[in-house]
Amino acid sequence: MTVSASPSSAPLDRKKSFQSIILTLQHYWADQGCVILQPYDMEVGAGTFHPATTLRALGPDDVWNAAYVQPSRRPSDGRFGENPNRLQHYYQFQVIMKPSPADSQDLYLGSLKAIGLDPLDHDIRFVEDDWESPTLGAAGLGWEVWCDGMEVSQFTYFQQVGGIDCDPVPVELTYGLERLVMFIQGVDNVYDLDWDGVPKDQGGKVYGDIFHGAEVDYSHHNFDRANTEMLFRHFLDAEQECASLLDAAHPLPLPAYDQCMKASHIFNLLDARGVISVAERQGYIGRVRALAKGCCEAWVAAGKKDQADG
């Protein structure tokens, strides 16, 4: 157990608390004309999986600007609450703008300034990092954004999702919130992050107070306890349900996509449990990709139909 007391006794500037940073980002992107959404109510590996990104990147809207927080689960990153930098459950702040504005980079830098990272006080760089999601059949070109050597965001111009070319092209910004706020608060251990800016003696909470127990329990679950026989069964169920929802004369891309997300998360759990061999891994990824592709195609087709009907 490595949770330690907050390193500095000086009260934190409330604007730098975890929750304030989220609020500030939401305000900032709302001011830029984004729809502020809430997290999607399913387990996903990254904010990109939210249908507001995956599906809306493709259609039917010609313009789509949205921002939201998304809890993200990576079962194999569990460290029983003992690693100061790795979590199996963490938060991403996600912005999607379609078409990508000409001043995307400036808008992004503006958001850093809003949360207290003035680009004039730091060394901010855009370092090549092309993004690919084999399970979503998605790919884009862009950068990692570094602030004083710390990767604070992923900046991607989507080129393809579900194997379909994006047109117009969206830009996706993903902030790793824990890492970003650790940087802002000057904290070395994620569990020491000040969540609310309320002093401890007044009942204030740090990240560890809220999530440490969950990290320990979920690590046991992800690595040792999750019932793999049941998970294999559920994977098949989700796969079949997704296919049947897409197959009918009246395809339902959104509910089908829920099943795709479910299958993806179950695969990640099985992977963490170590029951998927290296040889099988590609096969599972391919199966999830096939679901994602089907959902995206059905979504695009439905959008075209709506436009035709409308």
Partner 1 sequence: MAELFIEIFGEEIPARMQLAAEKRLADGLAQALKDAGLEGDAPRSWSGPRRLAVSIAGLAKTQPDLNEERRGPRADAPEQAIAGFLKGAGISRDEAEIRSTPKGDFLFAVINKKGQDAEVILPAMIRDLLMQFAWPKSMRWGRSRQRWVRPLHRVSVVFDGKPLAGELPLGGGASVPFTASTLGHRMLSPQEISLKGGDDYDQALNAHQVIADRQTRIDMIAESMASLTKAEGFTVMDDDGLMAEVAGLVEYPHPIMGQIDDSFMALPPEILVVSMRSHQKYFAVSAADGTLAPRFITIANMAPDAKRDAMIRAGNERVLKARLADARFFWDQDCAQPLSENVAKLTGITFFEGLGSMGDKAKRMASLAASIAGMIGADADAAQRAGLLAKADLVSETVGEFPELQGVIGGYLAAKDESQAIAEAIAGHYRPEGPSDDVPEDRVTIAVALADKIDSLTGFFGIGELPTGSKDPFALRRAALGVLRLIVHNKLELRLKDVFALAAQGYGFDKASDALIPFLHDRLKVWLREEGIRHDVVAAVLRLDDPRHDDLIHLCRLAQALADVLETEDGQGLMAGYRRASNILSAEEKKDQTRFDGGVDAILIETMSDLAEVRAAVDAAKHVAPDLPVFATLSFDTNLHTMMGVSPEQAVVELSAMGADVVGANCGRGFEEMETIATKMAEARPEGALLFMQSNAGLPELVGADFVYNGTPEGMAELATKMKSMGVDVVGSCCGSTAAHTQAIRSVMVS
> Could you list the residues that contact partner 1 (CB under 8 A)?
83-86, 99-102, 104-105, 119-128, 130, 140-143, 147-150, 157, 159, 167-169, 171, 183, 186, 188, 277-279
Question: Looking at beta carbons only, is 199 or 274 nearer to partner 1?
Answer: 274
Rounded least distance, CB 235 to partner 1, Å: 21
Question: Looking at beta carbons only, is 129 or 209 nearer to partner 1?
Answer: 129
Question: Looking at beta carbons only, is 146 or 232 nearer to partner 1?
Answer: 146
Question: Looking at beta carbons only, is 157 or 223 nearer to partner 1?
Answer: 157
Rounded least distance, CB 278 to partner 1, Å: 6
- Residue 26: how many CA atoms within 13 Å on its side-chain side? 14
Question: Looking at beta carbons only, is 183 or 257 nearer to partner 1?
Answer: 183
Rounded least distance, CB 274 to partner 1, Å: 10
**Three-state SS across the chain?**
CCCCCCCCCCCCCHHHCHHHHHHHHHHHHHHCCCEECCCCCCCCCCHHHCHHHHCCCCCCCCCEEEEEEEEEECHHHCCCCCCCCCCCEEEEEEEEEECCCCCHHHHHHHHHHHCCCCHHHCCEEEEECCEEECCCCEEEEEEEEEECCEEEEEEEEEEEECCEECCCCCEEEEEEHHHHHHHHHCCCCHHHCECCCCCHHHCCCEHHHHHHHHHHHHHHHHHHHCCHHHHHHHHHHHHHHHHHHHHCCCCCHHHHHHHHHHHHHHHHHHHHCCCCCHHHHHHHHHHHHHHHHHHHHHHHHHHHHHHHHC
Rounded least distance, CB 99 to partner 1, Å: 4
With tokens 């003696």, the residue in question is: 201
Rounded least distance, CB 304 to partner 1, Å: 18
Question: Looking at beta carbons only, is 25 or 182 nearer to partner 1?
Answer: 182
Rounded least distance, CB 80 to partner 1, Å: 12
For residues 262 and 42, the answer to whether their CB atoms sit within 8 Å is yes
Question: Looking at beta carbons only, is 21 or 295 nearer to partner 1?
Answer: 21
Question: Looking at beta carbons only, is 101 or 303 nearer to partner 1?
Answer: 101
Rounded least distance, CB 293 to partner 1, Å: 20
Rounded least distance, CB 259 to partner 1, Å: 31
Torsion, CA 224, CA 227, CA 233, CA 235, rounded to 10:
-40
